[in-house]
């Protein structure tokens, strides 16, 4: 793609979830037509797009229709089959590329890439055979056994302390390819979202400090000095090295563990916008979804500027069952009476426990004010304090 795709062109997205929905909204606000490919006829993104192609991700006619409709195509979740992206790339611009997505889909390939980039990650071993299981170094225990593919939000993982527990966990996972990571003394978690253009230009959102519960993001805090300057500098350099090493085009999230000695190790990457970047919609002059549009369309990238401290609460379907065993609408009117409250619901028809239904961003003049209001909102919604 030489010249930028200007508003009036059609941008497509593989996947119809909430990330696709927010990408669609950003693209439409900028004047683009949009198309979604998703097998769910009632998908959140499909509901709001100009075109919704209801097809499986490897369906040849569906992919053909998407390629014919769109001037460029992106993805909204990392488990879209990489071969589907490669097939689309034969006909139109696709970013991120299938090769980058394939690395993010495989923990073993992902960690090998971190090593090539000189970015520290937890000590690990790949386990694909009984011989590799037997050869695991005792120094990796206690550790976390993770399937190399299809794990997210804490799924496909097991904590193991002994060789017997390791063998049992691998058997429970049906002896699929896994990575065993050494458990490290964690102090915090953070993430960096970078956007890289086809020309190699790169910008980033402010670093995000994250709190996870049961493997799912619960709270993200974004404000100046939310982390020491040295950690911020280290995380930004690592994230940009990882993106450059992939020759990446698009929006990339890099998640880090902060160890108790203050050092950082990279956890994983997501080749798309990320839950932890949602606050950018309300606290920055350029959101992660606008950056996704810009990278896909070949538009200039500008460094986002944060204008307000922000805190984001993830809204899971559990909140619909706080007051009753039956699904009950949370007290949105009371929440929206709070200053600086920005509610984003994803258009999902049914709430269920553990399902991401939306997020709430709180912004204000000071970090103290934002935290105070966020705690009020959490209390109203039945979210555990932080």
pLDDT digits (tens, 9 = 90+) for 253-274: 999 999 999 999 999 999 999 9
Name the token pair of 71: 């001037």
Q: Rounded to the nearest 5 degrees, what angle is found at the Cα of 384, between the Cα atoms of 189 and 370?
A: 70
Q: What is the mean pLDDT of residues 60-70?
A: 98
Contacts of 113 (CB under 8 A, 6+ apart): 103, 242, 245, 246
| pLDDT for the residue 153 | 61
Provide CB contacts within 8 A for 50, sequence distance 6+.
Answer: 10, 28, 33, 34, 35
Q: Which residue intervals of the chain bear CATH 3.30.470.20?
A: 186-381
Average pLDDT on 299-326 reads 96
Q: Cis bond leading into 96, ω under 30°?
A: yes
Q: What per-residue confidence (pLDDT) applies to 150?
A: 78
**Residues above pLDDT 90, as percent of the chain:** 95
**Token output for 138:** 């005792």
Structure confidence at residue 154 as a pLDDT band (50, 70, 90): low
Give the helix ranges, DSSP H, for 126-228.
Answer: 130-134, 163-172
pLDDT tens-place string over residues 170-191 = 999 999 999 999 999 999 999 9
- Please state the separation of Cα 288 from the chain's center in Å: 11
Average pLDDT in the 13-27 region?
98
The CATH 3.40.50.20 portion of the chain extends over 10-94
In this prediction, residue 271 carries a pLDDT of: 97
CA distance 375 to 373: 5
Q: Would you state the CATH architecture of domain 186-381?
A: 2-Layer Sandwich (3.30)
The Cα–Cα gap between 220 and 225 comes to 14
* pLDDT tens figures, 324-379: 889 999 999 999 999 999 999 999 989 999 999 999 999 999 999 999 999 999 99
CATH for 10-94, options being 3.20.20.140, 3.40.50.150, 3.55.10.10, 3.40.50.20: 3.40.50.20
Asked whether residue 104 carries a pLDDT value surpassing 90, the answer given is yes
Name the band, by pLDDT with cuts 50, 70 and 90, for residue 151: low
Q: With b meaning 16 or more CB within 10 Å and e meaning fewer, what string describes 123-146?
A: ebbbbeeeeebeebeeebbebbbb
- Quickly state the pLDDT bin for 78 (edges 50, 70, 90): confident
- The chain-wide mean pLDDT, for the chain, equals 96
CATH of domain 123-182: 3.30.1490.20
Say what the pLDDT of residue 159 is.
Answer: 95
Q: How confident is residue 52, by pLDDT bands cut at 50, 70 and 90? A: very high
At residue 1, does pLDDT exceed 90? no
Q: Residue 4: its pLDDT value, please?
A: 97
pLDDT at 156: 83
Q: What value does the mean pLDDT take over residues 300-316?
A: 98
Rounded to whole angstroms, how far apart are CA atoms 366 and 363? 8
Q: What is the pLDDT of residues 122-140, one digit of tens each?
A: 999 999 999 999 999 999 9
Instruction: Give the β-pairing of 51-53 and 33-37.
Output: parallel
Q: What pLDDT is attached to residue 127?
A: 97
pTM above 0.75, yes or no: yes
User: What stretch(es) of the chain map to CATH 3.30.1490.20?
Assistant: 123-182
pLDDT band for position 2 (50/70/90)? confident
Per-residue pLDDT tens digits for 157-171: 999 999 999 999 999
CA dist 165 and 208 (Å) reads 34
Rounded to whole angstroms, the Cα distance separating 265 from 258 reads 7
Does position 113 have pLDDT exceeding 90, yes or no? yes
pLDDT bin (cut points 50, 70, 90) of residue 215 is: confident
Task: Give the range among 38-42, 148-152, 275-279 with minimum mean pLDDT.
Answer: 148-152
């Amino acid at each position: 793609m030489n010249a930028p795709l200007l508003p009036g062109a059609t941008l497509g997205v593989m996947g119809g979830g909430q990330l696709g929905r927010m990408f669609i909204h950003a693209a439409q606000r900028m004047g683009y037509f949009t198309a979604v490919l998703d097998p769910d006829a009632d998908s959140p993104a499909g509901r709001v797009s100009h075109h919704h192609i209801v097809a499986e991700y490897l369906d040849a006619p569906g992919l053909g229709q998407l390629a014919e409709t769109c001037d460029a195509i992106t993805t909204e979740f990392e488990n879209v089959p990489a071969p589907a992206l490669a097939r689309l790339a034969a006909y139109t611009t696709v970013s991120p590329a299938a090769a980058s997505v394939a690395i993010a889909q495989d923990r073993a390939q992902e960690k090998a890439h971190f090593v090539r980039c000189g970015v520290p990650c937890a000590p690990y071993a790949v386990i694909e055979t009984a011989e590799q299981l037997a050869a695991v170094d005792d120094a990796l225990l206690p550790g976390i056994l993770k399937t190399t593919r299809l794990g997210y939000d804490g799924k496909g993982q097991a904590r193991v302390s002994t060789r017997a527990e390791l063998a049992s966990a691998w058997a429970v996972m049906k002896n699929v390819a896994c990575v065993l990571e050494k458990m490290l003394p964690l102090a915090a978690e953070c993430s960096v979202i970078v956007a890289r253009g086809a020309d190699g230009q790169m910008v980033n959102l402010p670093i995000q400090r994250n709190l996870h519960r049961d493997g799912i993001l619960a709270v993200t805090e974004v404000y100046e000095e939310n982390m020491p300057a040295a950690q911020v500098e280290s995380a930004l350099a690592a994230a940009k090295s990882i993106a450059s090493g992939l020759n990446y085009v698009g929006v990339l999230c890099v998640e880090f563990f902060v160890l108790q000695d203050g050092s950082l190790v990279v956890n994983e990457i997501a080749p798309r916008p990320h839950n932890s970047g949602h606050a950018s919609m309300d606290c920055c002059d350029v959101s992660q979804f606008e950056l996704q549009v810009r990278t896909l369309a070949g538009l200039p990238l500008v460094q986002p500027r944060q204008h307000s401290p922000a805190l984001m609460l993830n809204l899971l379907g559990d909140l619909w069952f706080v007051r009753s065993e039956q699904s009950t609408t949370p007290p949105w009117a009371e929440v929206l009476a709070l200053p600086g409250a920005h509610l984003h619901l994803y258009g999902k028809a049914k709430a269920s426990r553990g399902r991401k239904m939306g997020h709430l961003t709180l912004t204000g003049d000071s970090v103290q004010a934002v935290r105070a209001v966020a705690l009020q909102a959490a209390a109203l919604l039945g979210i555990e304090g932080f």
